[in-house]
Every structure is written in structure tokens, then in C-alpha cells.
Amino acid sequence: MKTCYPRYTDWNTTSNITEYMKQAIFILILLIGLSSIHAQEITIGAPNYDSIAIIIRDSTSSYYYPRLFSRLLQYDTTLNVEEYKILYYGYTFQPEYEPYWRSPYDDKLAKYYQKPDLNEQDQDSLIFYALQSISTNPFDLRQLNSLAYVYHLKGDEETTYRISHRFQGIIAAIMSTGDGMTCQSAFHVISTGHEYVVLNLFQFQFESQLLTSDFCDLLRVKKDQRGIDGIYFSIKRIWDTNAAKMKTMNK
């Protein structure tokens, strides 16, 4: 494993997700193969948090969060992109959401990411700690990607598919919020770490980071043949949620 985030494209040669960013959502939809996706119209645009807050609390809604979240935990491969969007952005309304979450298993996992190759014992250890990390945060993209990669190495393609389905569903949800070319059309994330997963996924070389006045992270990247030198990520929800938590703590 030669990168911090082993890419799905490293081991699935039929995937081609290095296309222009504006087309990414449609490519990812094809990759994921989500159930009934062909009949589904995907809404491209920033998440409406007010609407999300209402529907995830409505027990009569198909987006009622406890039911939807249960399907996520079961690695349900029938979840579609709209459901992943509600799950991902709706997670910010859950008490367990931590805006600046860091995996408690990062230090234990780091040594495996630094190895050029993983033997069977390494693979088993990485699986164990990655699963522990995901159990504390089901949207831990780094470990989901790593876990899918290791299960592929072990020849367990069924488990690989189920895990990569969640990983790609979350990525598709992020990609459906904009094109990343301006702060107004930024990709919305609920973790700053997800910004770097996206950069790595599309094989951009990070150079610097700038926080804008509109609560966007502008990640400058090395300009290549695609002509892109920066990607915008909206982190306003992270800031707002963190501020609300701090206010509650200080009461």
C-alpha cells in the first residue's frame, strides 16, 4: 500500500474516476451501481439542512434517520445517492457527531499505511483497527477505503463490494453538492479530513490551504492537464455545529 488512502482505482481497473470534476457524480453513480439509480433523479446542489432536520425526525418519512442509519450499519447495498446524502449530512444532527473528530486508532493504523506491502498478519491487524475506527464513526472515509482494499487483497470480493459501496455512496453524496470550482458551488463536507480523501481520489497534488470569509476551505493543488489549481470545500456546517456545541458546554 503506497498511499495514505489506497484508491479504489488501484485495484479495480474498470474504474475511471479521474474525469473532470463536474462529471464526477455521474461517473460515481455508474461505479456504485446503486439499486433503482436509473429511475432516480439526482439533485445537484448544496444540502438544505433545515429540510434535512425535519425529514430525519419524521417517523413516517422514508428518510427517518434511525431506520436509514440501521441500513447503513448493515452495509445495505440498496441505499441510493439521495439516501446517502440524508445519512451523511443528517449525521451532523446526531449527538455522537463530532465536528473535528479524529480516529482514536490513527496511531495504530499509521504503521500499516507506511508499509510498501502488507503480509497476512498486517492485513488482519489493519482490518481489526479499521473496523474499530468505523464503529466510532461510520463515515470514516479513510478507513472504509482502506478496509475495502485489504478485503480485496484477501480475495473477499463480496465484503469488498459492500464496504466500497458505502465509501462510494458517501463520495457521491459529497460530489452531488457542487463542482468545487467556487465557494458558491463548493463540495460540502462534514469533516475536514474528507477534503483530502477527495483530493487523493482524483489524484490531485495538495499544495496549500486557505480559509475564506464564507467558511470555505480552498485547497490549492498542483495544476495539471485538467487545468484545475484549486478545489473549494464548504465547512460552514462544521463551524456552525462546533459553535453550537461549545455554546452548550459553556452554559
* pLDDT higher than threshold 50 for residue 7: no
Grid cell, residue 244, equals 453550537
- Closest by CA to 129, choosing from 147, 102, 149, is 147
Grid cell, residue 68, equals 436509514
Q: What is the pLDDT of residue 131?
A: 97
10 Å Cβ neighbour count for 136?
Answer: 14
Q: What is the pLDDT of residue 249?
A: 79
Q: What is the pLDDT of residue 251?
A: 67
10 Å Cβ neighbour count for 67?
Answer: 12
pLDDT tens digits, residue range 153-202? 999 999 999 999 999 899 989 999 999 999 999 999 999 999 999 998 88
Distance of CA 198 to the CA centre of its chain: 8
Grid cell, residue 163, equals 464496504
Distance of CA 75 to the CA centre of its chain: 15
10 Å Cβ neighbour count for 196?
Answer: 19
pLDDT tens digits, residue range 233-247? 999 999 999 999 888
pLDDT tens digits, residue range 207-242? 999 999 999 999 999 998 888 999 999 999 999 999
Q: Are 179 and 163 in contact (CB under 8 A)?
A: no
pLDDT more than 90, % of the chain: 70
